[in-house]
Structure 1
Amino acid sequence: MTSLITSEPASPGADISIVTVEALALRAAIAVPVKTSFGVMTDRPAVFLRVRDQAGAEGFGEVWCNFPSVGAEHRARLALSVIGPALVALGPLAAGQVFDRLMSRLHILAIQSGEWGPIRQVAAGLDMACHDLAARKAGLPLWRHLGGLSGRIRAYASGIGPEHPADVIARERSHGHTAFKLKVGFGEMTDRRSLEAARRTLGDAATLMIDANQGWTAPEAARLGADLARAYGLAWIEEPIAADRPSAEWLEVAGRIGTALAAGENMNAMAEFDAAIGSGCFGVLQPDAAKWGGVSGCLAVAKRALAAGISYCPHYLGGGIGLMASAHLLAAAGGPGLLEIDSNPNPWRDRLAGEALKVEAGLVTLSEAPGLGIDVDWDRLARGG
């Protein structure tokens, strides 16, 4: 799906004045479904965005669209019919204002439609694209354009399911990874079997985390989390309970588990992140730049988290454009965080970012190429390649 939204050129001298927005909804077949505690992905969807300003400069963004299964097409249509035109109508503005200005403009529509999530996600993707455009125009890699001091970041292999964890870990280790995250929440026996296989393959010293994908109740999380953290030396436990559970439950789980809790991919407002930072529950915060906030919001969260002694580790489980943006965000923010790189097959990631995100000894080094540092062949993508 591709289309154009256009406007007459705005007055010269503006920071960014977007005149064209395009969107692609794409799907790639995969041989093995990607399982979580709440659902299964039977293919890999992607929504990519391209924006152009009045001078013809362009930038690229990506929109979270994994669930429900019709999410990609829905979000692409939102981008083309509603949110893209809103960005064009805003006229000249700084890249750092895009997400907030869009959400302000669309606030009543979001209330009326109840489409808070999809609207935030498309606005986040457009914010990402505008930052890419601004950095390309400045001739700087996005991480440096945002004030980063080094393009060298730590990374970890994620999305490791219960089917063949030892084989996946061995493969990802051969690709340069030294830290790994397993998906759990499939029943205690299955989870323990996965972790046993992981530790047996890795040895005791390697960094290992788990993600329950909100799959436990608070009592289950307190009991299982404490036991698994102790038995397998876990660096963090991600979303052990539903993201919207009362703070008292999160505090109870945090107090009993005895290792860092991680969350943030399902937080949807700066007030939520501020509350999380102030709660004392979390050792890791994980906003997703394709899901909320774009580059603007996630960088602000990262800086607040780091100032409070909390690690910023961007969440990501999509295609190559959003993954590159996440890498640049981490480099710009600094700190001890790690970039999440999904271990499951994803052609949209590999074709766009595979060469730019080589992992060596657990580290990725971003280039000095402008913007996101990748060439995006839009016409080829539109043909499905």
Structure 2
Amino acid sequence: MRITGYRTLTTVQEWGRPVGDANGVFADGVTSVPIVVVETDEGISGVGMGPHLDIERIFPALDNEDPRAVTALYDRMLRQAFKAGHAGPVFGTIGALDTALWDIKAQAAGEPLWRLLGGRDRRVPAYASGLDIALTDDELAAEYAVYASHGLRAAKLKGGLDIERDRHRLCLVRDVLTEAAHGLRPGLMLDVNEAWTRKQAVRHVGELERTLDLIWIEEPVRRWDAEGLAAVGRGIRASVATGENLTGLEQFRPLIAAGAVDVVQTSAVWGVTHFLRVSALAHAHDLPVSPIGNSPVGLLHAATSVPNHLASELQDLHLPLGISLDLYVEGGAFVLGDAPGLGVRLDEPAITSSGPHPPTTVGPHIRPERAGRQLLGAVDGAPAGPRHSADHRPLGPSRSRDEVFPTAAS
């Protein structure tokens, strides 16, 4: 079997609600989802969801190679880009290609990837994460009631701009999940996306911990600040989670050596091989790992094979336009299917019909000018930028759009 080419696609995720974090909001609730398809001479194609920036420079490392040599080809791609650097979107391109190769390898073996990687249990524990900073209280409650109906008992909220607003929203979601679980205490996490200084982080979380029990605080300070993350960890009871924006083992080593991370995260777009290597590094230091990202299907399969997986992020109960997956959500877990490979199916006409999604000038991908230098919290507890309009419907039982992660019974 030989790799013969690739093609790229871009679809959209229609969230049906504004989504964002302390840095900004996509008010229209629509985000781009780039896709890479790797083709072979035996008619098997693999799919990876992630950037395809600079793919013309990376792909020669794969051209005419046997796709089943996945880990060797991963290192070959890293070498292909080492002079110009392999961070950010370029690292994401390598990760998307890597995921597509794992898809091909498992399809060629006639097995789902989770089985090929040595997984035993197809159930992957999940937590809810709504990218919810712009939602009203009613919308927030409705959204997490839907997550709770799928058995999720842990939730990660976006915050970091106002202590009292964060406390109120965390308590609201806690009550929604507690009611759904008949009084069982849920798990709560807060993600501030690098919005604070070290002292702000300790002060903010310490105040929340007067009345709340947080499992973790995510990215309290800048991702590379090993000393600062360690200082935050020493000053609070909650664990420190970080790593989703780190690319390569060389960026994780200083944090682990400094005792700066308690929950090691990896982003879905960085690929399967990266996740497996980070998981092994974390396991060597008795640290758990937690994948993040929307539709993190490659890492869900990989998570079944590592001993230190904690929980995977479930952002939305709807998949990007034109994409279907062989999995469902039940009992607070992703349940993987038996389709060979990743179980990804593409409806390319539907994807093509979505048209181009122009880049936005505001959103969580753009760091605000005064991030980390706010004397007081935001007046309304929401990030700068356009707020959602009144005609956005909440994610709740009344929504007409079909869920694509149904329970087994449905």
Superposition TM-score, scaled by structure 2 size: 0.77
Aligned-residue offset at 1:349 = 7.2
- Contact 2:243/2:264, CA 8 A, preserved across alignment: yes
- Show the counterpart of 1:375: 345
Aligned-residue offset at 1:84 = 2.9
SS at match of 2:62: helix
Mark the CA change 1:349 to 1:330 in structure 2 (over 3 Å): closer, same or farther.
farther
Q: List gaps (5 residues or longer) in structure 2.
A: 179-183, 356-410
Aligned-residue offset at 1:360 = 2.0
Aligned-residue offset at 1:350 = 8.7
Give the stretch that moved more between structures: 235-244 or 300-309.
300-309
Question: AA paired with 1:159?
Answer: G
- Contact 1:97/1:296, CA 8 A, preserved across alignment: no
Aligned-residue offset at 1:157 = 0.8
Looking at structure 2, the residues matched to 92 and 310 of structure 1 have their Cα atoms a distance apart, in angstroms, of 32
- Show the counterpart of 2:390: none
SS at match of 1:332: coil
1:206 aligns with one of 172, 186, 196 = 186
Question: AA paired with 1:382?
Answer: T
- Contact 1:128/1:289, CA 8 A, preserved across alignment: no
Q: Superposition pairs for residues 59-208 of structure 1, below 5 Å?
A: 59-63=46-50, 75-76=51-52, 78-79=54-55, 81-88=56-63, 94-108=69-83, 110-111=84-85, 116-162=87-133, 163=135, 164=137, 165-203=140-178, 205-208=185-188
- Contact 1:263/1:282, CA 8 A, preserved across alignment: yes
Aligned-residue offset at 1:302 = 1.0
Looking at structure 2, the residues matched to 39 and 301 of structure 1 have their Cα atoms a distance apart, in angstroms, of 29
Q: More relative contact order in 1 or in 2 (CA 8 Å, sep 6+)?
A: 2
- Show the counterpart of 2:332: 362
- Show the counterpart of 1:218: 198
Mark the CA change 1:336 to 1:129 in structure 2 (over 3 Å): closer, same or farther.
closer
Looking at structure 2, the residues matched to 282 and 306 of structure 1 have their Cα atoms a distance apart, in angstroms, of 13
Mark the CA change 1:17 to 1:132 in structure 2 (over 3 Å): closer, same or farther.
same
- Contact 2:275/2:299, CA 8 A, preserved across alignment: no
Residues 1:297 and 2:274 aligned together: yes
Q: Deviations over 1:40-77 (max 9, x none)?
A: 234221011111122222111011xxxxxxxxxxx445
Looking at structure 1, the residues matched to 64 and 141 of structure 2 have their Cα atoms a distance apart, in angstroms, of 52
- Contact 2:9/2:35, CA 8 A, preserved across alignment: yes
Looking at structure 1, the residues matched to 68 and 341 of structure 2 have their Cα atoms a distance apart, in angstroms, of 18
Superposition TM-score, scaled by structure 1 size: 0.82
Aligned-residue offset at 1:374 = 3.2
Mark the CA change 1:382 to 1:45 in structure 2 (over 3 Å): closer, same or farther.
same
Mark the CA change 1:179 to 1:367 in structure 2 (over 3 Å): closer, same or farther.
same
Aligned-residue offset at 1:99 = 2.7
Q: Superposition pairs for residues 5-20 of structure 1, below 5 Å?
A: 17-20=2-5
Aligned-residue offset at 1:227 = 2.7
SS at match of 1:268: coil
Aligned-residue offset at 1:372 = 0.6
Identity among equivalent positions (%) equals: 31
Q: List gaps (5 residues or longer) in structure 1.
A: 1-15, 64-74
Residues 1:342 and 2:315 aligned together: yes
Looking at structure 1, the residues matched to 230 and 6 of structure 2 have their Cα atoms a distance apart, in angstroms, of 43
- Contact 1:226/1:257, CA 8 A, preserved across alignment: yes
Question: Which structure shows the bigger proportion of residues in helix conformation?
Answer: 1
> RMSD in angstroms over aligned alpha carbons?
2.4
Residues 1:284 and 2:269 aligned together: no
- Contact 1:25/1:76, CA 8 A, preserved across alignment: no
